Amino acid sequence: MLRMTGITKNFPGVRALDGVDFRLLPGEVHALMGENGAGKSTLIKVLTGVHTADSGSVRLDGAPVVIGSPKQAQAAGISTVYQEVNLCSNLTVAENVFIGREPYRFGRIQWKEARRRAAELLERFQLDIDPGAPLGSYSLAVRQLVAIVRAVDISAKVLVLDEPTSSLDRDEVERLFRLMRRLRDDGVAVLFVSHFLDQVFEISDRMTVLRNGRLVGEYETRALSRVELVGHMTGRVLRTLEELHAPREDVRDAIASREPVLAARGLGRKGGVAPFDLDVHPGEVVGFAGLLGSGRTEAARLLFGADGADSGTLEIGGAAAVLRTPGAAIGRGIAFCPEDRKSEGLVEDLTVGENIVLALQAARGWLRPLSASRRAELVGKYIKALNIRPGDPEMPARNLSGGNQQKVLLARWLITQPRLLILDEPTRGVDVGAKAEIQKLVVSLAGDGMGVVFISAELEEVLRISHKIEVLRDREVIAEIANEADATPERLLEIIANGVAR
């Protein structure tokens, strides 16, 4: 159905794609795989007309096409959800779904009609979203779902989804997969990018692997094993995927006997999260588990003063603290890596190096700049430690691939050497290898005495590294469980569904 041949794309100083061939068959789900920065998003952007390839050709249904703009791509039947959700948060959900293709009658936009049709669509998706509400009032995950709804509704021949599942949890992913299968059976070609190997093996029929902008190969999913796939992606032969083991019981007890670095009592905010208690001890990793919209992020933001709490008290390092601004929290040694890296994390205009030192510099104030040599040293150290690629500190952060941007944000906070590190979806969009690296890093930071709050939609990940887990549902902390042998994703889901007798 779609065939791209010899696609090459250069950015200043980087060859993002180098003679890549790619084909997409009708009625298949095709996974595009590769490490962070391999060129997946770039290939998609070439396909959808965001970037123009330096060389190479595209054929659609056998006929050569030139796709010069996203609009032309849409007209050609290619509908896309990009990696970074780019909808307008000040418009309503319905407006976002229909923007650019509003229903007209007598030359006027029929907003009522649009709202009705949007409601229908959301209904079909079983999404409990008000089409009249501004999109900005919903979480990142909901926004991602709206972007998907929008893309799916543009009944297209080719549907492109660049990491659509990165902030969704199981149910939504399942729902999305059902929909993808239905579209596939209708003959639509679905192109899918994800760093979740489970998902890729579950949904895809075939996959194409890229490495450093080059094509590694095209494979039948059935005929490929997980280890082989990772081998193709990284170019190294891995014996087994390294596993971290849940912390042992005696270690947990030792940690819990320390003076807590943070103690919250009845902390809450109306419309955010119901009052909850929480202790985080030095060296402890506390996981937050819950579904979409369960209040994980809201709880974390209270701990950091990103939102003001309207009830409860907070003690940090044994001293009572009222956090009215993030600055107050940072001054007390707390760091917070938000989930929405585009709008709340990265300053895309600034370079990688500037982004990395930003939090430290803000804490020092403008009158005490880091010396150039100190800055180069720190930035160099963390680029290396987190394997940020390309490792050029002068590169604008905007030009980094999604996963590498995430690592930049992580570096920004590690550099401040906080006592308590709050990570909201730190491995979102990060490739398998780097994800394991980040998990190991978190464990080792905790080993050195840092307290960590770790939020992830991926329950396995939470279980792998945390000492104890706060379970949230409907904006309420419903249980705190120690990470013992019987703590499994299934059990967590059960607690989330049914609650638990403490």
Ligand X SMILES: Nc1ncnc2c1ncn2[C@@H]1O[C@H](COP(=O)(O)OP(=O)(O)OP(=O)(O)O)[C@@H](O)[C@H]1O
Task: Give the residues lining the site for ligand X (CB under 6 A).
Answer: 11, 14, 16, 34, 36-42, 83, 390, 399-404, 429, 431
By CB under 8 A, tell whether 321 contacts other proteins. Answer: no
By CB under 8 A, tell whether 393 contacts other proteins. Answer: no
- Of 97, 69, 73, 94, the closest CA to residue 2 belongs to 73
Choose which of 126, 365, 497, 502 interacts with other proteins (CB under 8 A). 365
Nearer to other proteins among residue 64 and residue 365 (C-beta): 365
Nearer to Mg ion among residue 84 and residue 130 (C-beta): 84
By CB under 8 A, tell whether 86 contacts other proteins. Answer: no
By CB under 8 A, tell whether 347 contacts other proteins. Answer: yes
E-strand spans in 112-181? Answer: 158-162
Angle at 121 between CA 117 and CA 123, to 5 degrees: 115
Choose which of 235, 308, 331, 499 interacts with other proteins (CB under 8 A). 331
By CB under 8 A, tell whether 414 contacts other proteins. Answer: no
Q: How many residues bind other proteins (CB under 8 A)?
A: 39
Q: Given the rule CB under 8 A, which of 77-85, 195-203, 276-284, 362-370 is the region that contacts other proteins?
A: 362-370
Dist. CA 411–CA 46, nearest whole Å: 30
Instruction: Enumerate the β-bridge partners of residue 264.
Output: 278, 314
The DSSP output letter for 391 is -
Contact criterion met (CB below 8 Å) for 295 and 472: yes
Q: Which of the choices Mg ion, other proteins, ligand X, none does residue 500 contact, using the CB cut-off of 5 to 8 A by kind? A: none
User: Distances in Å between the alpha carbon of 361 and those of 174, 410, 419?
Assistant: 43, 15, 18
Contact criterion met (CB below 8 Å) for 119 and 93: no
Q: Which of the choices other proteins, ligand X, Mg ion, none does residue 426 contact, using the CB cut-off of 5 to 8 A by kind? A: none
By CB under 8 A, tell whether 271 contacts other proteins. Answer: no
Dist. CA 404–CA 37, nearest whole Å: 7
Nearer to ligand X among residue 334 and residue 400 (C-beta): 400
Q: Which of the choices Mg ion, other proteins, ligand X, none does residue 199 contact, using the CB cut-off of 5 to 8 A by kind? A: none
Choose which of 6, 68, 187, 308 interacts with other proteins (CB under 8 A). 68
Site of tokens 């939504």: 172
User: Distances in Å between the alpha carbon of 190 and those of 61, 160, 176, 314, 494?
Assistant: 15, 6, 12, 48, 32
Q: How far is the CB of 441 from other proteins (least distance, A)?
A: 20
Q: How far is the CB of 352 from ligand X (least distance, A)?
A: 10
By CB under 8 A, tell whether 394 contacts other proteins. Answer: no
Nearer to Mg ion among residue 41 and residue 416 (C-beta): 41
Choose which of 308, 369, 447, 499 interacts with other proteins (CB under 8 A). 369
Peptide bond into 390 cis (omega under 30): yes
The DSSP output letter for 143 is H
Contact criterion met (CB below 8 Å) for 163 and 341: no
Q: Which of the choices ligand X, other proteins, Mg ion, none does residue 333 contact, using the CB cut-off of 5 to 8 A by kind? A: none
Nearer to Mg ion among residue 233 and residue 334 (C-beta): 233
Nearer to Mg ion among residue 41 and residue 165 (C-beta): 41
| Backbone angle region of 47, left / alpha / beta, with phi > 0 → left and psi within -120 to 50 → alpha | alpha
Q: How far is the CB of 360 from other proteins (least distance, A)?
A: 9
Choose which of 178, 364, 374, 384 interacts with other proteins (CB under 8 A). 364
**Sequence-ordered list of residues with C-beta below 8 angstroms from that of 299, at least 6 positions apart, any chain:** 272, 273, 276, 278, 288, 470, 472, 477
Nearer to other proteins among residue 99 and residue 254 (C-beta): 99
Dist. CA 335–CA 376, nearest whole Å: 22
Q: Which residues bind other proteins (CB under 8 A)?
A: 12, 52, 68-69, 71-72, 304, 306, 325-327, 329-331, 336, 338, 343-350, 354, 357-359, 361-370, 412
